[in-house]
Amino acid sequence: MTAGFEAGCSITSEDANLLLHDCDTAGGSSGGAIIATIDDQYYIVAINNMEFKNRRTGQDIINSAVKVDFLDRLFSQN
């Protein structure tokens, strides 16, 4: 098994502690890194956590990922 990669997908919006993205996902992709290029450097910016699907067709509408900075704050609290 290897990590997947999709060129051309993107973060479409930000909602509270989530990033919404249009990258292809499949069963088992939860926990996978969402990597962004910032100033020509690669950073893990979020962890994929779920897909919102069209109930009639079963196709992905949008995907969400938990922002890494939120996880840092959450787990650094005493």
Residue 53: partners with Cβ closer than 8 Å, 6 or more residues away: 59, 60, 61
pTM for the whole structure: 0.75
Give per-residue pLDDT as tens, 4-13: 677 788 889 9
Give per-residue pLDDT as tens, 29-71: 888 888 888 899 999 999 999 888 778 887 768 889 999 999 8
What pLDDT is attached to residue 57?
82
**Alpha carbons 12 and 63: distance in angstroms, whole number:** 10
b or e along 61-71 (b: 16 or more beta carbons within 10 Å of the residue's beta carbon)? eebbbbbbeee
Check: CB of residue 53 under 8 Å from CB of residue 59.
yes
Residue 50: partners with Cβ closer than 8 Å, 6 or more residues away: 30, 63, 64
